Structure 1
Amino acid sequence: MTTQNDRPAGRRTGRRPGTSESRDTILRAARQRFAEHGYDGVSLRSVAKTAEVDPALVVYFFDSKEGLFTAAMRDALPPETLLDEVLAGPVEECGQRLVAAFLQRWETEPTRDKLRSILRSAVSHAASAEVVRGFIAEEVLDPLAKTLGGDNPRVRAGLVGSQLIGLALTRYVIEIDPLAGVDAAHLARVVGPTVQRYLTGELP
């Protein structure tokens, strides 16, 4: 039976020319290429060459380079799972749960390598940064802010996004001390109240 992972985004018909294993191979190659060459320096053909598959298979699964980059992010940071974790508890503690869940993914291999390759591409290339911002805002933070019911959900989502991306950049990519060495659970307790205020507190 064909699963959701076996199908490319935006396509639901036609003979499946590849397997979920082929899809995973393409995603691994894409993350490698994006990390080494940035978003602008990667083409679907170059990813296909690295993955040793037909370029048509990359198009079949992902449609476009943006679709491929977004799929790589979704693979590393599944929004549905993250939202379920954040919303599973008292509203007044969702900020800490969000930071804890976010850090937990960065603390775990192979997810850390997946996220690091994406973030390195984003900070060095404007096009990939735009895709990352759109993914985090539209698929994770906008739905969270709207579910919590606060005013100005897009502003709240943007503030939370700036906090999380900045935290990941300084801790896991640039590795600035002492932030890089602080225990993740402790860091979630420290940063959580700030994220909570962004999500549900009064904004000036």
Structure 2
Amino acid sequence: MASIRGRGRPRGETRTRERILAAAVDEFGEHGYDAATIRAIAARAEVDSALVHHYFGTKGDLFAEAVGFPVRPDVEVPRILHGPRDEAGERIVRFVLEAFERPEVRKRGVMIIRTVVGGKLAAPLATAFLTRELLPRIAQELDATDAELRASLVASQVVGMIVARYVVRAPAIAEASIDELVARIGPTVQRYLFD
């Protein structure tokens, strides 16, 4: 007697998604973020491009998942930067610190940073992701002629904070409360954004 499948995920969906993800890792690894295309990833996975978009959305979303990047810039950046302008720097710092306090985010985030700092393959991928997906999203929220520089300065401050607290574990920073770090680092980020 044939088994009757109930409702739910169709057969092969998980395998198809995993195949696309594996193809993306290979494509990004071989060609870099800029040169990799959804079409090439789909061809490598032997699926239609529309299926890649169905499972992963944009190339930025697919890259974020392929490397385990814990934040979706398209969703988070506008949300963080909207609200009272004079609190934007503090909101950015608080968001990052609270995200990194979650073990699954910290593990992936630290792995990405260590890989970028120590690996020739990952550095261009992460740089391209930052310059194409993250920094422009911050810059487009700013009303300034030097918005790109301001966004890059914010990124440098945030990455430095993450390295000091979670990678190097500098005692004073690692032991400081989130509120204290927000109060001390937030104004610097605020200055980069708007002063």
**Range into which the TM-score falls when normalised by the shorter chain:** 0.5 to 0.7
Q: How does 1:1-204 map to 2 (within 5 A)?
A: 18-20=12-14, 23=17, 57=45, 70-73=64-67, 75-201=69-195
Alignment-derived partner of residue 5 in structure 1: none
Q: Gaps spanning 5+ residues in structure 2: where?
A: 1-9, 31-43
CA distance in 2, matches of 1:21, 1:183: 42
Alignment-derived partner of residue 36 in structure 2: none
CA distance in 2, matches of 1:165, 1:198: 14
Runs ≥4 in structure 1, deviation > 6 angstroms?
A: 24-28
CA positional deviation for 1:85:
3.0
CA distance in 2, matches of 1:23, 1:116: 25
For residue 71 of structure 2, what is the amino acid of its counterpart?
L
Residue 178 of structure 1 aligns to a residue whose secondary structure is: helix
In structure 2, the CA distance between the partners of 1:144 and 1:189, relative to structure 1 (3 Å rule), is same
Preserved contact between residue 69 and residue 112 of structure 2 (Cα < 8 Å): no
CA positional deviation for 1:171:
0.8
Taking only the aligned residue pairs, the percentage that are identical comes to 31
Preserved contact between residue 91 and residue 186 of structure 2 (Cα < 8 Å): yes
Residue 148 of structure 1 aligns to a residue whose secondary structure is: coil
For residue 153 of structure 1, what is the amino acid of its counterpart?
A
- Provide TM-score, normalisation by structure 2: 0.67
Preserved contact between residue 90 and residue 182 of structure 2 (Cα < 8 Å): yes
For residue 115 of structure 1, what is the amino acid of its counterpart?
G
In structure 2, the CA distance between the partners of 1:57 and 1:164, relative to structure 1 (3 Å rule), is same
- What is the RMSD of the two structures over their aligned residues, measured on CA atoms? 3.6
Q: Deviations over 1:108-155 (max 9, x none)?
A: 121111111111100101331222233233322322222221221221
Which is greater in Rg?
A: 2
